[in-house]
Amino acid sequence: MALRLEDKKALVAEVNEVASRALSAVAAEYRGLSAGEFDLLRKKARENAIYLHVVKNTLAKRALQGTDFSCLEPALTGPLVLGFSLEDPGSVGRVIKDFAKDHNKLVVKAVSIGGQLYGSQDIERLASLPSKEQALAMLMGTMKAPIAKFVRTLAEPTAKFVRTVKAVGDAKQEAA
């Protein structure tokens, strides 16, 4: 169905606004997916805070101008769905990669993160990025490790003394 000019302008503004605050993007060809399969992809995207939209390539090029994802322009050919990660940079990669495992009709064309365009083979790298919670846990573990080691080092002489006294006490008790 053809869009009116006002609808096109609204769609371009919406995609531009989402792209300006997104962390990463994936462009994937969806040719051959059934409507039910596409609805399943949309559901998974909503659950993972991913903006997923089919946009005509000419409108997508206009919408991505002035954003970090303007580098996607050469990849915008054919029927594409654009996915933008809004909370976690790797979430769009994980969802698209997992969905493409079961549905070989979904083919990744391009990946963009931080204003850089990457090929379809880099979807694995994007998908392996840690989530926000995982990154915070790794950071806290790294920050906690030296302190924990310092506390163990301070406690070791006392613990060693206690073990020695206990061993001497056990030896005297066995001798008696």
pLDDT computed for residue 1 by the predictor: 54
Instruction: Identify the CA nearest to 11 among candidates 53, 43, 67, 73.
Output: 53
Please say whether the structural domain 5-129 has been given the CATH code 3.30.70.1730: yes
pLDDT in tens, 126-153: 877 777 787 788 888 888 888 888 888 8
Phi-psi region of 154 (alpha: psi -120 to 50; beta: other; left: phi over 0): alpha
> CA 63 to CA 14: how far, in whole Å?
8
- Give mean pLDDT, residues 16-38: 89
Average pLDDT, the chain: 86
pLDDT computed for residue 2 by the predictor: 65
pLDDT in tens, 82-108: 999 888 888 888 899 889 888 888 888
Strand order in the sheet with 107-113: 50-54, 80-85, 24-29, 107-113, 116-118
In this prediction the pTM is: 0.71
**In this model, does residue 176 exceed pLDDT 80?**
no
